[in-house]
Amino acid sequence: MTTVKIRKQKRFIWAMITLSILIIVMFFISLSTGVIRIAPMEVIDTLLHKGTKQQALILFDFRLPGIVLALLIGAMLAVSGTILQGVTQNDLADPGILGINTGAGLAVVLYIYFFQDILTLTGLQSIYLMPFAALFGAICAAVLIYLLAWKSGVNPIRLVLVGIGVNAGFSAILTILQLKMDPQNYRQVTVWLAGDIWNANWNFVLALLPWAFLLIPIGIYKAKALDVFNLGDEVAAGLGIKVEKERGILLLIAVALAGAAVAAGGAIAFLGLVVPHIARKLIGPLHQLIIPISTLIGALLLMVADTIGKNILAPSEIPVGIVVSILSAPYFIYLLMKVK
């Protein structure tokens, strides 16, 4: 028993170290590639304040905030997906498929539509308020889906189907709303809804940091409950866990993470779905280990996707959400074929 545990822990530590190294390597590749290439050594020089003024401008004002945002958003979506899959006992749950992302997107678009012009969105107040608007939308969507799927209990399959329906409904409302905007806003919102790290600046990073650094650790702290859910509600209750309360808290964390991520990165689909599966393959079914691994994989994956999107068709940029879909939809289809 103990040897198994030790082996697991070793494996976990190795996975964490490997992923961290990959993230660091990718971080430098991502910083040095772009329309203007900066050699990796120069990147290090510039980070140490020894580069040229132009390089410093590119790195600190343009690339670095975008990359940090990609890391944060990727981690948040991955953890959100992991928790959702654990709570709903459904391998195919994901904030994108369940319509939570679209709900958050709808709230943000409504917020922009009613309260201000998109061009003034660099205003500080609105940046810090946007995650809250998204959170509100995400919670509304989650409650709506849960209620619609409720029929003396919530069955996972019905939950997913209802999510797909609600998603389509929100998308239709979004289409109608978008047409009422002026062309400039219309274009921006369209790209953003496809999943795009828009307005990559440090204020957005600051607005997201508290969400990521508060909610992900709480998620890890609560992970034990997720493992117990696997045993079934009755066993969980027997083990002294207040099932409904824990489930509510965990759902709220997942929804809040997805909402805040959407506010900054748009509706990025499939990331939250695929990452937990990769993490489970690497490390087994214990959520206390899965969540940290998911955090790193999500961050890595979104940073890679972001770099691909920025460079593959340069100078035009592909929204990161599209890259993520192309990379992970085939894996999702594979999972679909395996699930009974």
The residues that touch another protein, with contacts defined as CB under 8 A, are 92, 97, 148-149, 151-153, 155, 157-158, 160-162, 164-166, 168-169, 171-173, 175-176, 179-180, 190, 194, 269-270, 313, 316, 318-319, 321-323, 325-326, 329-330, 332-333, 336-340
**39 vs 161 by CB, closer to another protein:** 161
- Tell the smallest beta-carbon distance from residue 206 to another protein (Å): 30
Burial of 60 (0-12, 13-18, 19+ CB in 10 A): middle
- d(CA 88, CA 293) in angstroms, rounded, equals 20
Which burial class, exposed, middle or buried, applies to 48 when counting CB atoms under 10 A from its CB (0-12, 13-18, 19+)? Answer: exposed
CB of 109 to another protein, least distance (A): 14
When the beta carbons of 178 and 201 are compared against another protein, the nearer one is 178
- Which SS3 state, helix, strand or coil, does residue 64 take? helix
**Closest approach of Cβ 215 to another protein, in Å?**
26
Nearer to another protein, 62 or 186 (CB): 186
Least distance to another protein, CB of residue 277, Å: 14
Rounded to an integer, what distance in angstroms lies between the CA atom of residue 17 and that of residue 173? 45
Extract the tokens encoding 190.
């369209």
Task: Using the minimum distance from each CB to another protein, give the nearer residue, 121 or 169.
Answer: 169
The separation between CA 235 and the C-alpha centre of its own chain, rounded to angstroms, equals 31
Cβ-based nearer residue to another protein, 51 or 306? 306
Distance CA 66, CA 75 (A): 14
CB of 253 within 8 A of CB of 86? no
CB 160 to another protein: min, Å: 6
User: Which one, 70 or 274, has the nearer CB to another protein?
Assistant: 274
Pairwise CA distance, residues 268 & 261, whole Å: 9
Task: In whole angstroms, give the CA distance from residue 253 to residue 290.
Answer: 16
CB of 174 to another protein, least distance (A): 9
